[in-house]
Structure formats: structure tokens, C-alpha cells
Chains A and B, each alone.
Chain A
Amino acid sequence: MKVALFIPCFVDQFYPHVGMSIVGVLERLGHTVDYPEAQTCCGQPAFNSGFWDEARSVAERQMRVFRDSEMVVIASGSCGAMVKVFYPELFRGHPQEVEAKALATKTFEFSDFLVNRLGVLDVGARFPGRATFHDGCHALRELGLKKEPRQLLRHVQGLELVEMKEAETCCGFGGTFAVKFPMISTAMGEVKCASIADTGADYVISNDCSCLMQIRGVLDRQGKSVKTLHLAEVLAQT
């Protein structure tokens, strides 16, 4: 299958290795990966702040970039939710409504794509270690993904997956919330990190780099050695 990659702006700039990991996994499974280079951002920062006209401005350009792609895989739960759930709402009653729905239909978050589109649970990965999984809120609640990342991780050789009590509790990132209400955001991050520590895991894995940015940020200030990894990075290991 020919798959177009939607690499969120912050993954492009801060976590490009996550993008490369996705490429690696998809190619290992025999698919052709394309990266439409004109892409920039899904527009969520403007959308979440209530600037919907501005969000549309950015989103419509992004939609054009992917117009000719058959299948789009996105590296983040929150951007995935933006496209799948919010683009149709953002463009309701606008000329691009049909195009928005079309893109929403053909876009999948990475674990969703592997498990539900390709029907693959075992990607031939090997990653010895004790890890816990953090459910990014957008992937969990907007996209309904809970079992998919866990099914994939359970087939990773050598990986011991332990659940944390607060797996489904928001890490506190929330986009601009993290800088507009930093005290609440940090408090939420602390709750998350305490729950991670309780598992005794060496790794915390998530399907959203923005969550990992937040968790890493708090863990570093706490001097904790728990490593943060995106799901794709784990699945890329052989």
C-alpha cells in the first residue's frame, strides 16, 4: 500500500526520529511511504485557542497537500483527532466541508492504522525492558484507541508491559493550556509521573509526542531516569 505520512510540526522539529521510526516500520511491513513535503501543521494550536478562522486557514492548506493521497498515517493522536474529528466540524457549512470529511475518512493514527487497517499486531519488533503505557487523551477519547497500542506492544519481544493506575489521566499538556495555565499543567504532569514511578517501569511509552514532551519535562526536573519513548520508536526496534 502507498501511505502518505502526516508529520506534525513539532514531530518534524523536535522528534524527527519518531517519524523515521514510522517509516521504518511501514517499510518493514512492505508498504511504500510517501512524505508530501509541502505539509506544515494541522492548525490545532489556533483551533484550541478559539481562533477557528485562523485554524481553517492553516487546515485548508494542509488538506490540499494530502488531496491526492489514498491513505494518510499520522504520527500523533492529537493531530489525528484534529483531522478525523475536528476538521469536519471546523469546515461544516464551508466550501471545503466535503474535502475535510474525505481527509478525515482516510487519515489514521499510527496504531489505529496498523491494527485496524492492516490487521497487524506483530510488526517483528524486539525491545527488552519494563514499560508502562500512557494513553494520550485525544487518541483515547476522540479516536477511541485503547487496546490498539497495547496489542502492538504485547507482541514486542522481550517487552514487559505494566499498567499504571493513572494511565488514562491527562498528562496536562493540552496544547497551549500547558503555557497558559502552567501551574495546573505541571500539577497534572506530577500526578502522571508519580503514577509512572509507582509501576517501577524503566520506560513510559505513548502514542503522542506532545504528551511525551510534557512527561519528559516533568521527569527531568524530578531527576528521574525513566525514559520516554513513542510507540513507533519501540516498534521500529528489531
Chain B
Amino acid sequence: MTPDARTAVAEAFTEEWGRVVATLIGRTGDWDLAEDCAQQAFAEAVRRWPRDGVPDRPGAWLTTVARNRATDRLRHEQMKTRKLREASDMAARHAPGDDDPAAEPDDSGIEDERLRLMFTCCHPALPLEGRVALTLRALAGLTTAEIAHAFFVSEPTMAKRLVRAKGKIIHAGIPYRVPPAHLLPERTSGVLAVLYLLFNEGYAASAGDHLIRIDLCGEAIRLARALTALMPDEPEATGLLALMLFQHSRRLARVDAAGDLVTLENQDRARWNRAECDEAEVLLQGALRRRQAGPYQLQAAIAACHAGAPTAEATDWAQIAGLYERLLEVMPQALVRLNHAVAIGMATSPEQGLALADELVAAGELADYHLLYATRADLLRRLGRDAEAHAAYRDALQRTTSAAERRFLNRRIQETDGRR
């Protein structure tokens, strides 16, 4: 294959997979058929594009080929009468000239199909792990093996998870649609939560040796981009995309040559991806102008404060602490309180930060979360209370399995050990 055609197929896969699958599910209601036929359409592109040239509208070409495959398959299964009806419906809806992929009209409904797929994959009646897996399979086009690898489970386990999720959509009657207005805010936040979970899975691997799995982050960003394009009036979707871009922009600085974690204050800011920061900033400002600041926009605004500081010392911690206070109003969660404690520890004094962290400890919140103890340890170290810091670093170490985080904590333990 010529490099051009190869690039075109790869690009089309990234851009069009979700759209092709979504369109076919919309037409046939059959998820497996949709995936199979989309797969075949891409295989066909690999064969034909080098020979015939890349079509003007690759997406339309792929959709038509996939749809024709689906129609053929359904015709072959004529015994199954219900599907036959769908096949004839599909055929009826398209004129004869339709077999020529180039003749595919630009269907304005196609964009909506993808949005429909997103809401269906993220339906709250599906188990969370099923939502994540299905989103990666149906929308991002990752293979079952790739998803299994990303979540450290075996391929049969992941295959089972996908089969169960698809089965529940059909059998429990989960509708394939964009939810009506009264459900939209709640369901949209459900979609955003799945995308953010996906990003965080990639950002901080919960187990294993690699701290950052860039692929999952990249997929989450791609899906968030698609969502913001489909829901331009949803500032929280834009806020989420901005948040992801800010965090992703630091990926090279976040880990050192040995694969160890580098905290924000010690990161080489020259290695932050400026283009991504700038894009995030523009997105965030656009979203904030709507004056409906929700959790994602506020978190992105906090990330923007860090991105805008030329050095760690120049960080506007007072503003960050203020943003965390606003975030606590809409998201009164222990994790936000912990981050607020960190910000107060910087903006006001380590004592006050420690007092807030100790409130969490006293309330039994985040008892298994290593960063609560690492935060306490850090504040204690800054107060010169090295013996207590040392103990707190040990508490943190007991609570994480990530190899990179463990190396970081072990270094701190050695440092405080020498000064005890």
C-alpha cells in the first residue's frame, strides 16, 4: 500500500469508526453485525484505496460499504423474519444508485447517530466497567484484546464483559437514542464521567509498571473532542476536554527517565506541551463565558492556574484554593477536600493544610487512599516534623501498588529517615 493510502485508512479509522458503527446500529439494532460490517468496510478500504484512490468523503464511502455488507448479511439470514424486515426497510430507504459508495449523500443525521451510541454505551443501567469497555469498543474501535490489555484483564474476561453489556442493552430495552431534555443533564454527566474515568485510567495506571498509558488518554481526548463537536452548547463537555488537555500536556514532564513520578512542583515546565495548554485555555475561556461553571470547568480552571505559572513558586495558590472552595460547593467529595487541603497548605500555611487533611483522617475518609497519607507526609516534612512525616510516607507506601509511586515514596522515606 502507498504511504498515502495507508495514512488515509488509519485516519479514517480514528475519525470514522464510531460513526460507521453508530449508523449501522441505528439501522439494524444489531451491535455485533454493526461491528463486523464496519470491520469489513475498513478491510475493503485497505484493499481498494491504494488501487482506486482515496475517496473524497472516506466516511461516506465506509458507511455505504458497511451498510451494503449488512444488507447482504441480513438477506442471507432470511429465515430470521424480523431481521429480514429490517433489511428490506434498509434497502427501501436507499435508491438503486446507492451501490456506488461515492454517491452516498451526506446524511445530516449521521452525527446524531454517534451521539446516540455514546449515550447508549454510557447508560446508567449498565455496569460501569461495561460502559467503559463498550465505549472503547463501539465508539473508539479498540479491539477486545486491546481493551483487555489496557485494563489488565484477560481477553476472555473482557469479551464476556462486552457480550453482557450488549446483551443487556437488547434484553433490558435500553433505548438507542439521545435522551429527552428532562433526562439530558443527568445522562450527559454520566457520559462525561465515563470519558473522564477512561482518561484517568490512562493517566494514572492503577496497577503495573507504566505510570501513564498514553493510548487510553488519547482515546479519551478523541472521544471528548467528538462529544464537544456533537454538543457544542454543553460547557461541561468543553470543560472536560480542556481539563484532559491540560493534564495530558504534562505527560512528558510527569515521569523522569527512570519512569519515576515527578510532582508538579518539580516538573520541568519547558516539557509541558504548550500547544495543548493553549488549546485548553481557549476551550476553557469559551466554556466559562456561558456562566454555568460545573465540576469539569472548575477543575480545568485549576489546571489552567498551574499551566499559567512560569515556575512552581509563581503558582497562584490563593486563586487555586478559592477555586477548590467553589468546586466543593458542587462536588462535596473527600478527594476535593484533600486537594483543597493541599492548596491551603501552599496558599496559607502548612499547619492549616495539615489541619484540613487531619479532619479527613479523623472522619475516616479516604482511609485507603495513599495520597491522603502522602499529602500529610509532605505537609509534616515542610513543618520539619520529620519523624511524623516518615511514618506518614510509610502509611502511604502500604496503600499503593503502582511501581512508580512506590519508588517515589521510598525515596521520600529514605530522605526523611536521614533527618529523623
A associates with B: no
- Using a CB–CB cutoff of 8 Å, the interface residues on chain A facing chain B are none
